Structure 1
Amino acid sequence: MKAFDHAAAAAARTHQDSLTKPPGSLGRLEDLAVFMAGWQGRDRPRLDRAQALVFAGNHGVVAQGVNPFPAEVTALMVRNFRAGGAAINQLCRIAGADLSVVPLDLDRPTVDFTQAAAMTRPEVEAAMTAGAEAVDPQADVVILGEMGIGNSTVAAVLAAATFGGAAVDWVGPGTGATGDILSNKLRAVDAGLALHRPETALDTLAAFGGREQAAICGAIRRARQLGLPVILDGFICTAAAAVLTRDDPDALAHCLIGHESAEPGHRRLIDCLQKQPILSLDLRLGEGSGAAIALMVLRAALSCHNDMATFAEAGIG
């Protein structure tokens, strides 16, 4: 696993302080440029090639009535992504990211985690491998997103298993759950937590699923091996990523959180990870949509860092 290059980050900070502005006046844009420098190992980080990955999976827990939409919608949305009709397609286009959609055995949902483990260890490992293999080694940054009917329930139980608490602490409306459907989500998460007591990251993914969450973890680990910065999307993506901290508290050091979503558990999750989201726009779509918008902010940070004149170049001072 590659480590943060402190020398490159220090050089980037020195360069920031030489630009034609008061030191620190660009706020987090300066910090983002330094973060990128440290992970790319160059004082002038670049974003020539941005990759967006959306992983899709189906979940057996949908049988518990946790979602107002049927599982068939997952495949329909994958078709929409590939046809260019979804929000993430438009956002990637204007953010300058190459989008890849990776469906994972949509015709074979995971097992209902209220009844048994959602996946076997080989199934988890296969999904993680698919996520790792999807990462482009030539990318300068990787954006991660997901699609899967029922996966906000999975995210809630993963967050609870990782950081503690009960269903009420993590469950939110997801795609619009209210009334009985919301009650079903709460019951399903508490039932899963009572049935399974995993301790490692792999066992947590096996207990609760899903394949897209495991693929996200695989992509994050591969990006770390390559030294690629990662932008996580909202609650579901962040909850999947957080599972990796069960094995290694530093597992997400190369990851930015693109935005704080409107899903109520996300703020608590962000606090547990001790990270700061780039944006807060009340999004709750998934798909990597918030991460794609955050990429535009990251581009702004690097444009200022790389293209502004220094005081010496401008003949000032």
Structure 2
Amino acid sequence: MATYITELDVSLDDTEASYLRTQGFKQIYVNLNMYGSREVYLWYKEGSKDNSITRIQFSFTNSMAEGLNASGFEKVKKNLNTGSCGDDVFLWYFKGTTESHVPITKIEVSRDDEARKFSLGWERMSCNLNRGSGGSWAFLWVKREKKTYIQDMKVTDDSDNDQDYFEKGYIRVDESTNRGASGKPVFLWYLPTIKMEGSYVSLQVSTSVIDSQGYQKQGFLQLTPLVNLNEGNQGNKVYLWYKKEDPGHKPIQTITLLSNQELIDDYMKAGVTVLQGNLNSGGGCPWFPATPLYLGYYN
């Protein structure tokens, strides 16, 4: 019998952990704050499909939180990075009922970034739960009741449309493609569907005019409205391209952003397509360069 994730919470000490246990929550035994002064654990409760969580998002800035709050997401009011020198990272969840909202049945946290999970139907959330804490990694993975595919994608360089996109069922990839750079916060969004027909089958990233011309000849379409993934920086203009229903290609199930270049080979061996263009090729400074970010997707 299928189980569904219906509530999420976080404990910051033994007292909170004991209380959550008495309330029927189950603990994920991975300390989210390995290098901080507090032990931080994620907890979940299981229940009926009618009450299931369908969206999990994260915020690490006030502007990221505004659209989540306005569109009805529930915030877990405990910083996942408590006790560390990193960013304040908060978890939000939502229970939707539209076709794009497929219930979450399992969640896990990994530190070694287990790429093999993609082949088992898992989705990787792109926000490092230890964001800004200096080389510490923790990522949340979710598994849904049914497979989903990408029906549409957007890129934003401000938060003006966040509420609208959340209410339409889009998922925000919670890491800025301008991380560590001087430009605007730029976020990828995608709209999931349970239908294979009409879904994206391949993606490309252009970092030059030559790239753009080549992708046009190959039948790729440029994502609109046009938003430079490197907006506000001195580096190359970076744009996203896509194809739909290309014969011989399966639809894309999920996308993620990779900042740890040492893991790219492991991801590719696990069947993840990792695009070569660095989405964050400009900005930063010699003593604090911008974080390289690569887009990966799994068909």
TM-score bin, normalised by smaller chain: under 0.3
Query: TM-score, structure 1 length as denominator?
Result: 0.27
Q: Which has the larger radius of gyration?
A: 1
Greater per-residue strand proportion: 2
Higher RCO by CA contacts (8 Å cutoff, separation 6 or greater):
1
